[in-house]
Amino acid sequence: MNYKDELLKAHKRILPFIHKTPVLTSTLLNEISEATLFFKCENFQKMGAFKMRGALNAILQLTETQKNKGVVTHSSGNFAQAIALSAKLLGVKAFIVMPKNAPKVKKDAVLSYGGTIIESDSTPIARELKADEVVKEKGATFIHPSNDIPVIIGQGTAALELLKNQPDIETIIAPVGGGGLLSGTALATNFFGNNCKAYAGEPDEANDAFRSLKSGKIEINTTTNTIADGLRTQLGSNTFPIIQKYVSEIICVSEDEILTAMKLIWERLKIVVEPSSAVAFAAILKRKEIFKNKKVGVILSGGNVDLTNLPF
Size of the site for its own copies (CB under 8 A): 17
The question of whether 51 is a catalytic residue gets the answer yes
DSSP states of 282-296 as a string? HHHHHTHHHHTTSEE
Least distance (Å) between residue 127 CB and its own copies: 27
* Per CB under 8 A, 256 contacts its own copies: no
* Per CB under 8 A, 48 contacts its own copies: yes
Q: Which residue of the set 33, 40, 46, 51 is catalytic?
A: 51
The question of whether 120 is a catalytic residue gets the answer no
* Per CB under 8 A, 17 contacts its own copies: no
Sequence-distant contacts of 207-212: CB under 8 A, at least 24 apart: 207/250, 207/252, 208/234, 208/235, 209/176, 209/179, 209/182, 209/235, 209/243, 209/250, 210/250, 210/252, 212/240, 212/243
Task: Pick the stretch among 6-14, 63-71, 195-203, 266-274 that binds its own copies (CB under 8 A).
Answer: 266-274
Task: Pick the stretch among 81-89, 125-133, 158-166, 267-275 that binds its own copies (CB under 8 A).
Answer: 267-275
Q: Are 39 and 295 in contact (CB under 8 A)?
A: no
Burial 221-255, CB ≥16 within 10 A → b, else e:
beebebbbbbbbbbbbebbbebbeebbeebbbbeb
Q: Which residue of the set 76, 120, 146, 276 is catalytic?
A: 76
Cβ closest to its own copies, residue 20 vs residue 138: 20
* Per CB under 8 A, 281 contacts its own copies: no
* Per CB under 8 A, 241 contacts its own copies: no
Contacting its own copies (CB under 8 A), which of 100, 168, 245, 310? Answer: 310
3-state secondary structure of 22: coil
How, if at all, do strands 36-41 and 23-24 pair?
antiparallel
Q: Are 258 and 301 in contact (CB under 8 A)?
A: no
Cβ closest to its own copies, residue 44 vs residue 191: 44
Q: What is the rounded CA–CA span in Å between residue 158 and residue 175?
A: 13
* Per CB under 8 A, 267 contacts its own copies: yes
Interface with its own copies by CB under 8 A: which residues? 22, 24, 43-44, 48, 263, 266-267, 270-273, 303, 307-308, 310, 312
Residues annotated as catalytic are 51, 76
